[in-house]
């Protein structure tokens, strides 16, 4: 009964651990580590010097300590995965553009895609995204054939739009979104990883692109699509 009671105690402690805050769990990890060191020493001493009852108790403590450490590890991994998913969930959905500004080193600001940028950013909540952004006044091709545009038309489209897709990670600690770009209409960004500081306030999302595709930095404001 003592052995069974010992295992029940370890189980109860594991359940209680799941309800602790992050800092409390960290302290619990350290306590468990120290207890484990002491428990291993007592276990070896109990096996060599103790009577049958002592040896059973020592085995229970040693086994329970191992079990608890495994539980701690499992719960910590589960907690980390849950936090990562929560971070992805907060951005999940579609976002439309409000403004996209180029900010120069002297503080001057220019609308990168005009006063009425069109576009959409989609975060799927599982780590994948797609983004397209364009001026609202792009000229149509006179030929009505995408492969037969004039030099001026090609220049207008290249300078007045951008699109890319890939995967993303949200870091809650430093409030950044990291875009891992698979492919972009600006090919210099293909395979590039970009970390962008962001601020989420209700249905408004803002981020900064430290090195914008057109020079300077980019400041983007989006609103959640309805």
Query: Can you give the pLDDT at residue 7?
Result: 44
Residue 27: pLDDT above 90? no
* Average confidence (pLDDT) over 154-182: 96
Residue 197, token pair as written in the block = 């500081």
Q: State the first-to-last Cα distance of the chain, in angstroms, to the nearest integer.
A: 61
8 A C-beta contact, residue 100 and residue 112: yes
Class (C level, CATH) for 90-224: mainly beta
- Distance from C-alpha of 184 to C-alpha of 162, rounded to nearest angstrom: 7
- Distance from C-alpha of 96 to C-alpha of 220, rounded to nearest angstrom: 11
Residue 149, C-beta contacts closer than 8 angstroms, at least 6 positions apart: 141, 143, 157
pTM value surpassing 0.75: no
- Distance from C-alpha of 207 to C-alpha of 99, rounded to nearest angstrom: 11
Least confident residue range of 85-99, 119-133, 154-168: 85-99
Beta strand ranges found along 53-172 (DSSP E): 93-103, 109-111, 118-123, 128-134, 161-171
Query: Can you give the pLDDT at residue 218?
Result: 87
Query: Can you give the pLDDT at residue 224?
Result: 97
The domain segmentation of the chain, as residue ranges, is 2-88, 90-224
Confidence of residue 17 (pLDDT cuts 50, 70, 90): very low
The residues pairing with 133 across neighbouring beta strands, listed in sequence order, are 119, 162
- Distance from C-alpha of 37 to C-alpha of 10, rounded to nearest angstrom: 17
Query: Can you give the pLDDT at residue 194?
Result: 94
To the nearest 10 degrees (0 to 180), the angle between helices 2-18 and 52-89 is 20
Residue 137: pLDDT above 70? yes
8 A C-beta contact, residue 162 and residue 185: yes
Residue 2: pLDDT above 80? no
Residue 32: pLDDT above 60? no
More confident residue, 210 or 34: 210
- Distance from C-alpha of 183 to C-alpha of 110, rounded to nearest angstrom: 26
Residue 108: pLDDT above 70? yes
8 A C-beta contact, residue 113 and residue 134: yes
Least confident residue range of 13-17, 86-90, 105-109, 181-185: 13-17
Residue 159: pLDDT above 90? yes
What backbone torsions phi and psi does residue 157 show, to the nearest 5 degrees? -70, -45
């Amino acid at each position: 009964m003592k052995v069974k009671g010992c295992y029940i105690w370890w189980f109860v402690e594991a359940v209680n651990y799941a309800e602790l805050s992050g800092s409390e769990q960290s302290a619990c990890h350290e306590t468990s580590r120290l207890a484990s060191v002491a428990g291993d020493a007592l276990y070896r001493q109990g096996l060599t010097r103790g009577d049958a009852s002592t040896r059973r108790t020592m085995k229970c403590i040693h086994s329970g300590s191992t079990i608890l450490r495994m539980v701690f590890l499992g719960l910590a991994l589960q907690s980390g995965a849950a936090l990562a998913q929560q971070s992805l969930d907060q951005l999940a959905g579609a976002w439309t553009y409000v403004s996209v500004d180029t900010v120069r080193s002297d503080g001057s600001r220019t609308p990168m895609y005009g006063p009425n940028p069109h576009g959409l950013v989609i975060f799927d909540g599982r780590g994948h995204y797609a983004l397209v952004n364009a001026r609202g006044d792009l000229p149509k091709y006179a030929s009505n054939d995408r492969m037969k545009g004039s030099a001026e038309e090609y220049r207008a489209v290249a300078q007045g739009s951008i699109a890319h897709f890939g995967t993303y990670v949200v870091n809650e600690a430093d409030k950044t979104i990291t875009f891992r770009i698979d492919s972009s209409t600006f090919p210099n960004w293909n395979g590039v990883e970009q970390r962008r500081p962001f601020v989420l306030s209700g249905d408004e999302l803002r981020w900064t692109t430290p090195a914008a595709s057109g020079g300077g930095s980019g400041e983007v404001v989006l609103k959640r699509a309805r």
